[in-house]
Structure 1
Amino acid sequence: MTIALQGELDMLTASWLSQELDQIFAEPGQKRLILDLSGLTFCDSSGLGAMIKAYNHAQQTGGKVALVGARERLRHLLFRTGLDRYLPHYPTLAEAESAFTLPPFPSPDS
């Protein structure tokens, strides 16, 4: 599933996103989420918190979350906060979708 975000992701709109995430991850079998950030013009700590919530939901269900299309300022914010290690970012939606279809890397113990 892909959610395309537009405008500002701040204290007012992050609560909406959190509610949407609750509904999405309550659906049986929902394990993959792409947040399309190409339409975002602003993101504050509340917005980052909503992205972390998406990551946590996915982790609880064995799923994955990916980000796509973030502008330079938001990519820098993700890097500075270390969230880029948990929320992979892809330049295009096609690249994010293909990352979900790739087989996982074998574990070092294999």
Structure 2
Amino acid sequence: MSSEAPGRPTLTVASGLSRNAVIIRLEGELDVHAIPILREHLRRVWELPAEPFLILDLGAVAFCDSMGMNELVEVMQRCESRGTRLLLAGVHGVMARVLSITGLRHAFEVFARFDEALRLAVATL
């Protein structure tokens, strides 16, 4: 956890488009305080026409609590209802451990590196 003040979000979210994928990069802590930031960002994504892929780049996520994992499951469910494949990229360290511990590793399409997930999305044009 960070040394930031309690209750203060420590997550930054950036997004972009790449051919047939929406790319969302998360940096910091994916915890109960960060969920509103991610949800607001995703709200704008959900308003767009569905793309074939949504890539969540988690390579710079330093911490993820149960609420963060719950949010990832909700994103996966939303993607499934839209016909979008969710790819989790940059999964190593903390995120790899959390996915393994929770038993969710095989529920998601997981890539250790961002470029591997992007390559899949581009190859599926």
TM-score (norm 2): 0.73
Root-mean-square deviation (Å): 1.7
The match for 1:14 is 35
Alignment check: 8 A CA contact 1:6 1:41 kept: yes
**C-alpha distance in structure 2 between counterparts of 1:79 and 1:55, whole Å:** 17
For structure 1, which runs of at least 5 residues remain unmatched after alignment?
A: 104-110
Is 1:56 the counterpart of 2:63 in the alignment?
Answer: no
The match for 2:11 is none
Instruction: Quote the sequence identity (%).
Output: 27
The match for 2:63 is 42
Mean Cα deviation higher: 33-42 or 19-28: 19-28
Instruction: Give the drift of 1:90.
Output: 0.8
The match for 1:69 is 90
Q: Which one has a larger percent strand, Structure 1 or Structure 2?
A: 2
Higher relative contact order (CA 8 A, sep 6+): 1
Query: What residue identity is the alignment partner of 1:70?
Result: V
**Number of aligned positions between the proteins:** 103
Is 1:93 the counterpart of 2:114 in the alignment?
Answer: yes
For structure 2, which runs of at least 5 residues remain unmatched after alignment?
A: 1-21
Q: What do the CA deviations read for 1:63-107 (whole angstroms, capped 9, x no partner)?
A: 11111112323212112222222212112222102223456xxxx
Alignment check: 8 A CA contact 1:31 1:58 kept: no
Query: What residue identity is the alignment partner of 1:36?
Result: D
Q: Which one has a larger percent helix, Structure 1 or Structure 2?
A: 1
TM-score (norm 1): 0.81
